[in-house]
Structure 1
Amino acid sequence: PSDGLTIVATGPLTAPSLATSIGAATGADSLAFFDAIAPIVYRDSINMDVAWMASRWDKGAEASLEMGGDGRDYINCPMTKEQYFAFHEELLAGEKTEFKEWEANTPYFDGCMPVEVMASRGVETLRFGPMKPVGLDNPHWATAEHPNGRWPYAVVQLRQDNKLGTLWNMVGFQTKLKHAEQVRVFRTIPGLEQAEFARLGGLHRNTFLNAPTLLDRQLRLKSAPHIRFAGQITGCEGYVESGSVGMLAGLMAAAQIAGRDWTPPPRTTALGALLAHITGDAEAESYQPMNVNFGLFPPLHDVKKKARKEAYTERAKVDMAAWVGGL
């Protein structure tokens, strides 16, 4: 019945009949069947003495905002011709993850083609795709009278991945490279020499909702609020994360049945940070499944970088204890 509370908890290999039913309720464009994941980099590990912020043909992030833009500029990592050709060779030579049997005959589509597959189609392919340098004037090279001129031969772009601005997605860099190879190869990109990764790339089957668009802050389907979603289909990764979101959905439903107000866990905690990411803090246009990581937590700018993880943890313990005490 339409007023009966329902929790839908399903995972990455959701049965076709259930996936069809969910797709019909949410819209075909809102249910994904493949995880085309690009690496995500912690913002404070990017060397901005090498990289710079700008959108194509603009004068930078601040100028974009002043001119009425939306401020969604990119971090740009420039390459010379020599650096690009060396990077291209590393992509081709890097050790890749083998396809599972059921994946082997899955055709690629433009939205999830691994970067190394694009590279294999020709040495210039990436320069006309995700590494296109057109319209990106490098201010570092201009001021230093760089021997390569103001215009990079190729550019790796990173796009803001969460509202806090702590996580940045490597645009178009979904990949089947093994994790250790990703770290090695992607740290050869100028500006990412010391990059720390909140998530590494991949490509595999995974059914998940565009949760920031479809779900409210209590995991309810906006178009049918008696239905809640839980687990990996909401766009979380990992057993602990999936179970945690299921637990939260159960607590929300129990509070609703009892007529109690629901207070979400603080965003300073792992539960609260993940819930906030799923239900609205993530960029809906580029939404991909995510593990809990420190980049989802409200930043502590007044704490030195080396001490931040411990500081995040101590803050979370205090705030979590207070939240549990109020249940």
Structure 2
Amino acid sequence: MSAPIHIVGAGLAGSEAAWQAAQAGVPVVLHEMRPAVGTFAHRTGDCAEMVCSNSFRSDDDVMNAVGQLHWEMRAAGGLIMAMADRHKLPAGGALAVDRDAFSASVTEALTAHPLVTIQPGEINELPEGGNWIIATGPLTSDALAAAIRAETGTEALAFFDAIAPIVHAETIDMDIAWRQSRYDKGETEEERTAYINCPMTRADYDRFIDALLAADKTEFREGESAGYFDGCLPIEVMAERGRDTLRHGPMKPVGLTNAHNPAEKPYAVVQLRRDNALGTLYNIVGFQTKMKYGAQTEVFRRIPGLQNASFARLGGIHRNSFLNSPTLLDDRMRLRSRPHLRFAGQVTGVEGYVESAAMGLLAGRMAAAQAQGRDLPPPAGTTATGALVHHITGGADAKTFQPMNVNFGLFPPVEAKGGRRGRAARYPAYTERAKQDFNAWLAQA
């Protein structure tokens, strides 16, 4: 049997990497510092703990790039997608999960695998040899982050990420709020009523915006400077860009009809999505925030239906670090200066749970191939997985490199059948080609 692959970090990327390598017949040692060494965002020592949201976003593998990424991970026998499917919650066309049951099942699967050893403890320096994957995520420990900076000779790039609050369902006033997915999307009644909606009149909205802009917020420490990832902006930052920004973003009222007053169109709507299988917890969709805790309670209770809300978790902001991967990593996700080290997950500059796990899947398979004396190239750039890894390891401009979600803009152009134009024709052409090319890659992997 080959020497073990060592993986640092049991988040979504590290967990998927460990599963893929072990399934390929290569022993794995998975190093995890939690819970002995905690982070701002994590609560447990479980593998694949989800902290920002419970959503894997759209599950549409015909018209959506992240849905295509779901498809590829399922096709590759991915553990993260298998456990997400097992513990999914009604969420219209999105894939949302019961986060505690999800992480517990990932932990159970890895613990039970005969080729996986989970080793508690912090890795605080870069190893000198072997076959390693660094999948420590955006909250890499200070010691290991310092070692990475010393090796790469540059300050790690960083951006600030925010977490949305979670509300106890029993404290939502359902005489004001109602259940409905946007555009009644979903195949079952449960899916079509997966969200709780809180309506706002124009006066409600104006008062909310005024309170939001005036609220006490977390300030950056002196000398601390970083931008935000546009896909996870704090709501107060969006509000500062214009009073109607939220009403055209996470608070848009389209595709919804107030069940209590169908004739009256809400001026804005706040949506809450189920956070656990019991339906006792709901997170406020798109409401990432940097408001201080006391201010959050006061401001969020201005939302009609949440005037008596009790919060299971308030929002927060934390610093995320990532590599300038286009200059530091090769297309096998190896650190150019130390090719025995691969990186995977959000630390490589991908954004999102699914994207992070997909990079773990790829790193795990590549490391396993290396352990078996083979070289495994990445999938074609026409696939969702390949488009992401090609972007972060050379396709992006290193000078302006920022975290990126998967999207069709990363794919090479494709001609729709019959020369038809528009998204309705082009997007299925992207995903049809991606499926063919990913299956071809799996056949050689």
Q: With structure 2 as the length reference, what TM-score do the two structures score? A: 0.40
Q: Which amino acid aligns with 1:51?
A: A
Structural mapping, 1:75-114, within 5 Å: 75-101=196-222, 103=224, 105-114=225-234
Indicate which of 165, 188, 195 corresponds to 1:65: 188
Matches within 5 A, 1:19-38: 21-23=133-135, 35-38=161-164
Q: Relative to structure 1, is the Cα distance of residues 167 and 15 closer, same or farther in structure 2, using a 3 angstrom cutoff?
A: farther
Q: Is the 8 A contact 1:44 1:166 kept in 2?
A: yes
User: Residue type matched to 1:169 in 2?
Assistant: N
1:316 corresponding residue in structure 2: none
Kindly provide the amino acid, as one letter, of the partner of residue 226 in structure 2.
T
The equivalent position to 1:48 in structure 2, one of 171, 174, 195, is 174
Task: Tell me how far 1:6 sits from its aligned partner.
Answer: 4.4
The answer on whether the counterparts of 1:72 and 1:160 sit within 8 Å (CA) in structure 2 is: no
1: CA distance between counterparts of 2:298 and 2:222?
A: 27
Which of residues 32, 41, 52 is equivalent to 1:8? 32
**Which deviates further from its counterpart, 199-208 or 160-169?**
199-208
TM-score calculated relative to the size of structure 1: 0.53
Distance 1:189 1:91 in 2: 11
Q: Distance in 2 between matches of 1:133 and 1:16?
A: 50
Counterparts of 1:159-308 in structure 2, within 5 Å, are 159-205=273-319
Identity fraction in percent: 54
- Quick check: 2:159–2:229 contact (8 Å CA) kept in 1? no
Residues 34, 122 of structure 1: alpha-carbon distance in 2 compared, 3 angstrom cutoff: closer
Q: Which amino acid aligns with 2:318?
A: H
Rounded to whole Å, the distance in 1 between the matches of 2:133 and 2:221 is 27
For the residue of structure 1 that corresponds to 2:197, the secondary structure is: strand
Measured on the aligned residues, the alpha-carbon RMSD in Å equals 3.9
Q: Return 5+ residue gaps in structure 2 as ranges.
A: 5-26, 41-122, 138-157, 322-344, 347-352, 358-363, 366-445
> 1:84 offset after TM fit, Å?
0.4
Question: Counterpart of 2:399?
Answer: none
User: Contact 1:112–1:203 (CA<8 Å) still a contact in 2?
Assistant: no
Cα 1:113–1:5 shift into 2, 3 Å:
closer
Whole-angstrom distance in 2 between the partners of 1:86 and 1:126: 13
SS of 1:195 mapped into structure 2: coil
Whether contact under 8 Å (1:12, 1:205) holds in the other structure is no
> Structure 1 residues 138 and 99, CA, compared in 2 at 3 Å: closer, same or farther?
same
Deviation of residue 206 (structure 1)?
5.3
Pick from 272, 294, 302: which aligns with 1:158? 272
Q: Cα deviation per residue 1:202-229 (whole Å; 9 max; x = unaligned)? A: 1112579859x96xxxxxxxx69xxxxx
Q: Report deviation, 1:176.
A: 1.0
- 3-state SS of paired residue (2:261): helix
Cα displacement string for residues 28-52 of structure 1 (whole angstroms, at most 9, x for unaligned residues):
xxxx986420000011111111001
1:54–1:8 distance in 2 versus 1, CA, 3 Å:
same
1:123-138 matches, within 5 Å, as 123-138=243-258
Alpha-carbon spacing, 1:86–1:6, altered in 2? closer, same or farther (3 Å): closer
- How far did 1:156 drift? 0.5
5+ residue gaps in structure 1?
26-31, 143-148, 215-222, 225-327
Quote the Cα distance in structure 2 between the aligned partners of 1:115 and 1:186.
11
CA offset digits 1:39-75 (Å, max 9, x no partner): 000111111110011111228x8xx514xx7457211
Where 1:204 maps in the other structure, the secondary structure is: strand
2:120 alignment partner in structure 1: none
Instruction: Report the Cα distance in structure 1 between the residues aligned to 2:208 and 2:125, rounded to whole angstroms.
Output: 40
